[in-house]
Amino acid sequence: MKTFLKKNIYIILFVIYIASIITLLVIPVSNLTKIKIASRLPIRADYLMHGLMFFPWAFFMFSFKRIKGWIWMSLGILLGTFMELVQYFLNYRSFSYQDIIADGIGLLSGLIIVLLIRIIIQKTKK
């Protein structure tokens, strides 16, 4: 059991992550509020949540080394778009292209952080 878990921990975590995204994007929500960021720019809480949900996507990219980076990030965009299309058909949710943009910002932010971490690690190894 330990060797199975050790070999497949990233896959298990990824499945849990995807299940969490799907669950959060199909459950009913109410009271969408605005959050004031430091610059006093009001941002809807659901946009922030979409970005935060897709932020970790880039971190899993290195667990699936057979998939090229651009394909991996494209799959993230496709997942976000697909989930919005699912919401279109749910009577208690709605489709929003702004949510897809927020997903993309979360993906891009995660990718930037992952790339910065890789650069730092490579510099410290030299």
Question: Within 10 A of 45 (CB to CB), how many other CB atoms are there?
Answer: 13
pTM beyond cutoff 0.95:
no
What does the pLDDT read at residue 38?
Answer: 54
Q: Which of 43-57, 72-86, 104-118 has the lowest mean pLDDT?
A: 43-57
Going by C-alpha positions, the residue among 115, 84, 88, 90 that lies closest to residue 102 is 84
> Has residue 126 got a pLDDT over 80?
no
97 confidence band (pLDDT: 50, 70, 90): very high
